[in-house]
Amino acid sequence: MSLLGKVRIGHKAPDFHCEAVIKGVIKDVTLSTYIHPPTKPGVTNPDAPWLIILFIPAAFSFVCPTEVLAFQNCLDEFKDRRSSVVFISVDTKHSLWHWQNVPRQFGGLGMIDIPLLSDATHRISRDYGVLIEDEGVSLRGMFIIDGAGIVQQITLNNLTVGRSVLEALRLLEAFQAVAKHGVLCPIDWKPSDNAQDTLNTIANTLTESYEERLANLQKEFEGVPVTDLDAKHRSQEDSKETSVDGESEDSETAIDLTPRLSVDVDSKSNPPPHAIQEISCHRPKHTSQAHSPRNDCLPYPPSPPPLFNTKSFDTNGTFSASASQSAQNTLMPTLESSKISEVQMTARHARGTLP
């Protein structure tokens, strides 16, 4: 997939610097080698040379030689119209040099006058938006650049379809007629047979101004009004800009007219609203050995007394049976207090026989 890079119609063409094979010799070329933009702004040179850049996928292919040789055969036609033609490929300069020095009967180009520019780094193809990143080759793009370095036309073909030399000539002549005479070229506009007459005349072009054509169209329709859509669109844009400017000015000088509540000093007539009080539930916390912070909200049963307290031992440190018996009595309530009528003791069956 290819996306248009830095190139835009109506804007300056991206500059480049690379090596080219020109008549069997390898030279350094740039965009300024073929076109000479004016140094002073607002100054145009009607006789400035133009440039046509054609990208090709690869050398020694099937379609590319047919395009290069076709433009080579019509190169004088482009020179008569003050335009240069160059081909750019992603091949290295050595491959392009070999392609030019191999005779045509063996698959080469032979000696040609059209420069073959090497874009081995893919920078030019990427800047002009013709590089297929996945495959590393360029689409068949054609760019017409006027004498001021402005891109006037872009054509992109897929790899399998070549371009037309006659269409390239027609587009070049049309854009040159527009640049020199300020006319409009309708569909399928073609100049006269003589190239010099094409540069000096405006045959077959639309010489009427926009207002004159609209007036003539209004006469043809007689009573039916013809709406100038361009003027209507411009008026709508102007009205939008005016409204936006007016809103911005009003917002700067706007006065806050929002009604506000007045507070009466007399608190009796207008008592303040009751404040919302936060009510929290406090439960007494029971201290026990199993106390945990996450159980603060749960009721705690009374802690059982210890099985053996300090009273179970006498002063000499020996165990007292009477004290132990009193501790057991406190742990095990009587049958009357617990309302248990009968306690059945069941002995577990033990393995083996009793002695």
Considering the candidates 18, 64, 185, 297, report the single residue annotated as catalytic: 64
Phi and psi at residue 155, in whole multiples of 5°?
-130, 130
Q: Is residue 203 part of a domain?
A: no
Rounded to whole angstroms, the Cα distance separating 145 from 139 reads: 18
Q: Which of 66-70, 105-109, 143-147, 154-158 has the lowest mean pLDDT?
A: 105-109
Q: Is residue 353 part of a domain?
A: no
Span 83-109, pLDDT tens digits: 999 999 999 999 999 999 999 988 899
- pLDDT at position 261: 46
Residue 125 burial by Cβ neighbours in a 10 Å radius (0-12, 13-18, 19+):
buried
Alpha-carbon distances, residue 258 vs 233, 243, 261 (angstroms): 38, 24, 10
pLDDT band at 265 (very low <50, low <70, confident <90, very high): very low
Percent of the chain residues past pLDDT 90, beyond the cut? 43
CA quadruple 211, 217, 220, 226: dihedral sign: negative
Span 46-67, pLDDT tens digits: 789 999 999 999 999 999 999 9
Strands (DSSP E) contained in the chain are 17-22, 25-30, 50-55, 83-89, 116-118, 131-132, 137-138, 140-145, 151-157
Q: Is residue 72 part of a domain?
A: yes
Q: Is residue 196 part of a domain?
A: no
64 given a catalytic annotation: yes
- What the block records as the tokens of 171 is 């587009």
Q: Is residue 33 part of a domain?
A: yes
How many folded domains does the chain comprise? 1
Residue 178 burial by Cβ neighbours in a 10 Å radius (0-12, 13-18, 19+):
middle
Q: Is residue 40 part of a domain?
A: yes
* Partner residues linked to 319 by β-bridges: 313
Instruction: Count Cβ atoms below 10 Å from residue 211 Cβ, excluding itself.
Output: 10
3-state secondary structure of 172: helix
CATH number at residue 33: 3.40.30.10
Q: Is residue 128 part of a domain?
A: yes
Q: Is residue 297 part of a domain?
A: no
* Residue-range definition of the domain harbouring residue 39: 11-182
Span 313-322, pLDDT tens digits: 555 555 555 5
Rounded to whole angstroms, the Cα distance separating 283 from 296 reads: 8
- What the block records as the tokens of 172 is 């070049």
For the cut 90, the answer to whether the pLDDT of residue 119 exceeds it is yes
